[in-house]
């Protein structure tokens, strides 16, 4: 079919205004939060599940690829449209359909922004824990497709732990519903888990039922400064071994703190090599104070030079705002940054930090480290300039060495950002050839024509040697 005929057919499904073909629109939808770029054939913006299914049927008939897209904040290239894809943007599907207080569940369309959902459920005394730092710039559909995490995952788990049911449009346009509001459900294969974290490669998610919790009444925050980053890492391990389960333990190294201070001064301890930021939450205030006192004792025993408990909500919020400012603060330092997302067992954090610092030194690069240290998920960010090929060759080597170090320590390529384009060449290194072959068979069974989000997750021939940035 001619492109003009295809556009006319898509317009007849979603309305003329909701098919974008202008150059400036195609450019805007060529990116996500990485530096990858590829223009789509067109952008189509449905409002209902029936429209999504109709778009899938046209794509299947015409053998045209589809790339689902929510807010485009992804950090692994997942929503960058390859192979002349149509972008299937779900942001008009942005209604909270139900907040069910009896069953502690929310039913939402995929375009609901995470922060909007948090606000809506908290107004009813309920709580949706997954809190990516991008909570104001990402939508639940994107969060589910990436199985997003955040600072509160240490205590509460990741997005997938809250997915109770999904409605999914399969590649050829069939609509399936899997799961429900019940607490227990072991009927058949867990298809909710299959589509969660599939990065849009198996179908388009059109409705999500999320589990909610009662909102904890109190949240307390503390920070600790360390002369040696390795002492901060040892503190994280000791807190876990002491039987404490804080809501969050976040790490910032000195370069990260300096960049944040330049962007938005927050009084971070710049003379220290690292700081940890702790949160504890619950309904019994004295026990939270007890937990913080124990955390302080452990931190000091491991070399913390200063420990401060936020005196009130404003002081606490200022510290968390500083944490959320890290990405934009680092982005200002050099023309580009490559954000990594490796995850290692808690016992290996010290070794991972040491490895990253050695990799930075060996490759003459600045690689600030921050991340969700409590659950072993670190974000080494390689600062660079893509216009400098010699520097980019070193960046590529460093990125590869970081992946290899994480896997060698019993960790993984991605704790929360997904594989997308960025890490696909390393999939076999991480999961092994048999598991990768099984993943390919699942992909082929669900999407035999390869219509959904082509070029993602699965490596091109050549493995790590074919890694390109």
Ligand X SMILES: Cc1cc2nc3c(=O)[nH]c(=O)nc-3n(C[C@H](O)[C@H](O)[C@H](O)COP(=O)(O)OP(=O)(O)OC[C@H]3O[C@@H](n4cnc5c(N)ncnc54)[C@H](O)[C@@H]3O)c2cc1C
Binding of ligand X at residue 150 (CB under 6 A)? yes
**Site stretch for ligand X (CB under 6 A), options 200-208, 289-297, 304-312, 427-435:** 200-208
145 binding ligand X? (CB under 6 A)? yes
Minimum CB separation of residue 390 from ligand X in Å reads: 28
Give the C-alpha separation, 161 to 153, whole Å: 10
* Residue of closest CB approach to ligand X: 142
Residue 416 to residue 404: CA distance in whole angstroms: 18
70: buried, middle or exposed (CB in 10 Å: 19+, 13-18, 0-12)?
A: buried
Residue whose CB is less far from ligand X, 143 or 209: 143
- Interface of this chain with ligand X, residues 220 to 249, rule: CB under 6 A: none
**Using CB under 6 A, which residues numbered 60 to 79 contact ligand X?**
67-75, 78-79
Q: Exactly one of 110, 179, 368, 380 binds ligand X (CB under 6 A); which one?
A: 110
CB of 322 to ligand X, least distance (A): 14
Number of residues engaging ligand X in binding (CB under 6 A): 36
Q: Could you say whether residue 7 binds ligand X (CB under 6 A)? A: no
CB of 72 to ligand X, least distance (A): 4
Q: What sign results for the dihedral spanned by CA atoms 150, 151, 154, 156?
A: negative
**Binding to ligand X (CB under 6 A): which residues in 437-456?**
453
Distance CA 342, CA 154 (A): 15
Retrieve residue 398's tokens: 């460093």
Asked if 207 interacts with ligand X (CB under 6 A), we say: no
Query: 460: which DSSP letter?
Result: P
Residue 197 touching ligand X (CB under 6 A): no
Q: For ligand X, what does the binding mask look like between residues 291 and 330, x meaning CB under 6 A?
A: ------------------------------------x---
CA–CA distance, 306 with 53 (Å, rounded to integer):
57
What DSSP designation does 451 have? -
Work out which of 133, 221, 256, 316 binds ligand X, going by CB under 6 A.
Answer: 133
Question: Closest Cα to residue 105, out of 195, 207, 213?
Answer: 213
311 CB-contact burial (10 Å; exposed 0-12 / middle 13-18 / buried 19+): exposed
Looking at the Cβ atoms of 170 and 212, the one nearer to ligand X is: 170
Single residue of 138, 255, 412, 414 touching ligand X by CB under 6 A: 138
C-alpha atoms less than 13 angstroms from C-alpha of 49 in its C-beta half-sphere: 18
| Cα 121 to Cα 109: distance, rounded to the nearest angstrom | 15
Task: Give me the helices (H) in 15-88, please.
Answer: 23-28, 49-62
Backbone angles phi, psi at 217, to 5 degrees: -80, -30
Binding site for ligand X (CB under 6 A): 32-33, 67-75, 78-79, 90, 110, 132-134, 138-139, 141-143, 145-146, 148-150, 199-200, 204-205, 327, 416-417, 453
């Amino acid at each position: 079919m001619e492109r003009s005929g295809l556009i006319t057919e898509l317009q007849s499904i979603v309305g003329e205004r909701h098919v974008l073909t202008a150059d400036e629109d195609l450019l805007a939808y060529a990116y996500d939060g990485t530096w990858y770029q590829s223009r789509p054939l067109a952008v189509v913006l449905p409002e209902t599940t029936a429209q999504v299914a109709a778009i899938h049927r046209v794509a299947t008939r015409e053998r045209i690829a589809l790339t689902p897209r929510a807010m485009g904040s992804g950090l692994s290239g997942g929503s960058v449209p390859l192979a002349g894809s149509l972008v299937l943007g779900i942001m008009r599907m942005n209604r909270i359909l139900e907040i069910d207080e009896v069953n502690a569940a929310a039913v939402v369309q995929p375009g609901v922004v995470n922060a909007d959902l948090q606000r809506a459920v908290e107004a009813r005394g309920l709580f949706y824990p997954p809190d990516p730092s991008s909570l104001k710039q990402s939508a639940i559909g994107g969060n589910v497709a990436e199985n997003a995490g955040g600072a509160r995952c240490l205590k509460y788990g990741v997005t997938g732990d809250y997915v109770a049911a999904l409605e999914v449009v399969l590649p050829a346009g069939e609509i399936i519903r899997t799961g429900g509001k019940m607490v227990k459900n072991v009927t058949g294969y867990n298809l909710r888990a299959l589509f969660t974290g599939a990065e849009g490669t198996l179908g388009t998610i059109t409705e999500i039922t999320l589990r909610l919790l009662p909102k904890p009444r109190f949240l307390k925050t503390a920070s600790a400064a360390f002369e040696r980053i390795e002492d901060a890492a040892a503190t994280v391990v000791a807190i876990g071994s002491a039987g404490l389960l804080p809501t969050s333990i976040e790490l910032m190294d000195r370069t990260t703190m300096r960049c944040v201070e330049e962007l938005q001064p927050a009084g971070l301890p710049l003379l220290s090599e690292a700081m940890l930021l702790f949160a504890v939450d619950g309904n019994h205030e004295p026990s939270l104070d007890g937990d913080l006192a124990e955390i302080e004792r452990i931190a000091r025993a491991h070399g913390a030079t200063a420990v401060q408990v936020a005196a009130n909500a404003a002081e606490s919020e200022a510290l968390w705002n500083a944490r959320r400012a890290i990405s934009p603060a680092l982005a200002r330092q050099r023309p580009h940054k490559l954000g990594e997302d490796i995850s290692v067992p808690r016992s290996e954090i010290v070794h991972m930090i040491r490895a990253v610092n050695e990799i930075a030194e060996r490759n003459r690069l600045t690689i600030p480290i921050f991340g969700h240290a409590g659950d072993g998920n670190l974000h080494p960010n390689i600062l660079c300039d893509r216009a400098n090929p010699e520097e980019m060759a070193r960046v590529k080597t460093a990125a590869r060495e970081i992946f290899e170090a994480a896997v060698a320590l019993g960790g993984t390529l991605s704790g929360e950002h997904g594989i997308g384009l960025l890490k696909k060449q390393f999939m076999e290194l991480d999961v092994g050839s048999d598991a990768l072959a099984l993943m390919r068979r699942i992909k082929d069974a669900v999407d035999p024509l390869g219509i959904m989000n082509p070029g993602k997750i699965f490596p091109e021939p050549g493995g790590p040697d074919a890694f390109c940035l």
